[in-house]
Amino acid sequence: MLMAFLRAHLQISRSRCVFCKQTLAETDQHLSINEDARNDLIKFPEAPDPSTCCATGCPNCVWVQYADDVMKYYSKNRSAHYSLSAEQQLELIREQIDRHIQDVNLRAYLWMELRAKKFN
């Protein structure tokens, strides 16, 4: 009798979260969505290797793609940066670019691309 009770209790505790009364599948799904959102918020686009640019000014330059990725990052995470003014967002972007790109010429080119795309 006690074993049957323990099995039933174990079965119930496996299928239900005790505190929030959601199924574990719902809880896991909710946690994974929050985890994905948090990961998306944290991950700034990784800069391409400078040697992958041919420096001919081609329209499909890796740095143009990187500028697009930076814009997508900030548009995707707009809610996190919503309280910042446009100037503060631009300063934040400039700091990120300075942190991730060492070459001054590449930084200037990337900043020009961002301005050309009317990001500011």
Model pTM above 0.85: no
What does the H/E/C string look like for the chain?
CHHHHHHHHHHHHHHECCCCCCEHHHHHHHHHHHHHHHHHHHCCCCCCCHHHCCCCCCCCCHHHHHHHHHHHHHHHCCCCCCCCCHHHHHHHHHHHHHHHCCCHHHHHHHHHHHHHCCCC
**pLDDT for 22-36, tens place per residue?**
454 554 454 454 555
The answer, yes or no, to whether residue 76 has pLDDT greater than 70, is: yes
**pLDDT for 98-107, tens place per residue?**
888 888 888 8
